[in-house]
């Protein structure tokens, strides 16, 4: 078997950001600075790192980043009020609530409090429904990244069997809907799936969205399949046993530098688009 094509997310992300830079400049000429507000509740170090990475990515592109930090003891009502203030603020174009939020908070209520026009991370139920109907302004960022990588490399989706492992509201379910909307035949697997290896082996396209390091075994992958590993586990390890999967896959995303950087560039793209809408350019 030949070496697979490594689907280089860093390169895809760099191209997207290069395209966005001109659009940010054009907005600035009109006196509008695209602005993403990030909300971090509590002191989880991993969440703090993710928020910082996203804010830095914004700044590098000339997008303003407003950071709202709330204590661990924040109630659902207090978080909803903070989101409400950002919804009302015309200078804020996108809102990102870093998840998970501390246990006692109603995370779903908080996500759904984000105004649909500012839901650049694609986390609201309304955004999910629009996405499933193929009409979302801003689909969930990681699913959008996966589709963008496939399109960038000219990998066909229509008529192919896509097997998605994971069904979370931000990843497994929306990416399944997006692949279905692009005329793939989609199988969705989850923790109660009894014959996972056989299911994965059916996939022309395999999406790993499990959250377990090296969980998808190389020998499960059908020879010639395309593998997209959304997993990001401690130690920079994906959800796929990469080396073993390389023996069967025709193309595969590495971890890191695969889906992750494109996900951040999707967040930037959606924020720029939200600012363009606010400026009447879209
Ligand atoms: P999640 O909410 O924990 O969902 C995990 C999914 O995996 C669930 O649907 C679960 O099934 C399924 N699952 C768990 N054990 C399984 C098993 N033994 N067999 C089959 N399915 C199993 O995770 P998530 O938020 O979707 O994230 C998934 C991964 O993607 C994580 O590694 C996360 O770090 C990564 N991620 C990456 C990015 C990025 O930008 N690259 C963004 C978001 C997430 P049930 O529904 O039955 O419980």
102 with 166, same domain: the answer is no
Question: What is the chain written as a DSSP string?
Answer: -PPPEE--HHHHHHHHHHHHHHHHHHHHHTT---EEEEEEES--HHHHHHHHHHHHHHHHTT-EEEEEEE-TT--HHHHHHHHHHHHH-TT--EEEE-SSPPTTS-HHHHHHTS-GGG-TT--SHHHHHHHHTT--SS--HHHHHHHHHHHHTT---TT-EEEEE---TTTHHHHHHHHHHTT-EEEEE-TT-S-HHHHHTT-SEEEE---STT-B-GGGSPTT-EEEE---BTTTB-SB-HHHHHTT-SEE--SSSSHHHHHHHHHHHHHHHHHHHHTT--
Q: What is the pLDDT of residue 152?
A: 98
47 CB under 6 A from ligand 1? no
Cα 259 to ligand 1 centroid, rounded to whole Å: 14
- Are 243 and 155 part of one and the same domain? yes
pLDDT of residue 259: 98
Q: Which of 133-137, 192-196, 245-249 has the lowest mean pLDDT?
A: 133-137
The whole domain housing 208 covers 140-259
- Catalytic residue flag (residue 217): no
Q: What rounded mean pLDDT belongs to the chain?
A: 97
- Answer yes or no: is 191 a known binding residue: no
Arithmetic mean of pLDDT, 132-140: 95
9 is in an annotated binding site: no
Tell me, yes or no, whether 153 and 81 share the same domain.
Answer: no
Which whole number is the average pLDDT over 169-186? Answer: 98
Task: Decide if 219 is inside a domain.
Answer: yes
For 6-14, what is the mean pLDDT?
A: 98
Q: Does any domain span residue 4?
A: no
CATH of the domain at 206: 3.40.50.720
Q: In this structure, is residue 111 part of a structural domain?
A: yes
Q: For residue 119, indicate whether it is catalytic.
A: no
Question: What's the gap in Å between 216 CA and the centre of ligand 1?
Answer: 12
Residue 1's pLDDT band (cuts 50, 70, 90) = low
Query: Mind listing the pLDDT tens digit for each residue in 162-174?
Result: 999 999 999 999 9
Mean pLDDT of 101-111: 97
* Number of structural domains in the chain: 2
Residue minimizing CA distance to atom 42 of ligand 1: 142
Summarised one tens digit per residue, pLDDT across range 22-67 is 999 999 999 999 999 999 999 999 999 999 999 999 999 999 999 9
Q: From the CB of 34, is ligand 1 less than 6 Å away?
A: no
Please report whether residue 105 resides in a domain.
yes
Q: Is residue 267 part of a domain?
A: no
- Does 86 sit in the ligand 1 pocket, CB within 6 Å? no
* Known catalytic membership, residue 44: no
> Is there an atom of ligand 1 within 6 Å of 140 CB?
no
The residue annotated as part of the active site, out of 8, 112, 119, 121, is 121
Q: Which of 8, 17, 98, 112 is catalytic?
A: 98
For residues 154 and 112, membership in a common domain is answered with no
Whether the CB of 199 sits within 6 Å of ligand 1: no
């Amino acid at each position: 078997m030949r070496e697979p094509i490594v689907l280089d997310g860093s390169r895809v992300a760099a191209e997207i950001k290069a395209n966005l830079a001109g659009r940010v400049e054009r907005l600035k000429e009109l006196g509008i600075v695209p602005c993403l507000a990030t909300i971090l509740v509590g002191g989880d170090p991993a969440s703090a790192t993710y928020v910082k990475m996203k804010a830095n990515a914004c700044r590098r592109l000339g997008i303003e980043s407003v950071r709202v930090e709330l204590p661990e003891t924040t109630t659902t009502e207090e978080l909803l009020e903070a989101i409400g203030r950002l919804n009302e603020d015309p200078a804020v174009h996108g809102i990102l609530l870093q998840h998970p939020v501390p246990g006692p908070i109603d995370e779903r209520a908080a996500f759904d409090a984000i105004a649909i026009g500012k839901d650049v991370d694609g986390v609201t139920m309304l955004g999910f429904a629009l996405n499933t109907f193929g009409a979302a302004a801003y689909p969930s960022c990681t699913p959008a990244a996966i589709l963008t990588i496939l399109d960038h490399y000219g990998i066909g989706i229509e008529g192919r069997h896509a097997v998605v492992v994971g069904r979370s509201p931000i990843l497994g379910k929306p990416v399944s809907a997006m692949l279905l909307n692009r005329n793939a035949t989609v199988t969705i697997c989850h923790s109660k799936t009894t014959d996972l290896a056989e299911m994965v082996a059916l996939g022309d396209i395999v999406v790993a969205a499990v959250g377990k390091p090296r969980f998808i075994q190389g020998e499960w992958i059908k020879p010639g399949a395309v593998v997209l590993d959304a997993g990001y586990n401690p130690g920079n390890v994906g959800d796929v046993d990469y080396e073993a999967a390389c023996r069967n896959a025709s193309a595969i995303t590495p971890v890191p530098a695969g889906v992750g950087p494109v996900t951040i560039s999707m967040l930037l793209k959606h924020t720029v688009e939200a600012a363009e809408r606010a400026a009447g350019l879209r």
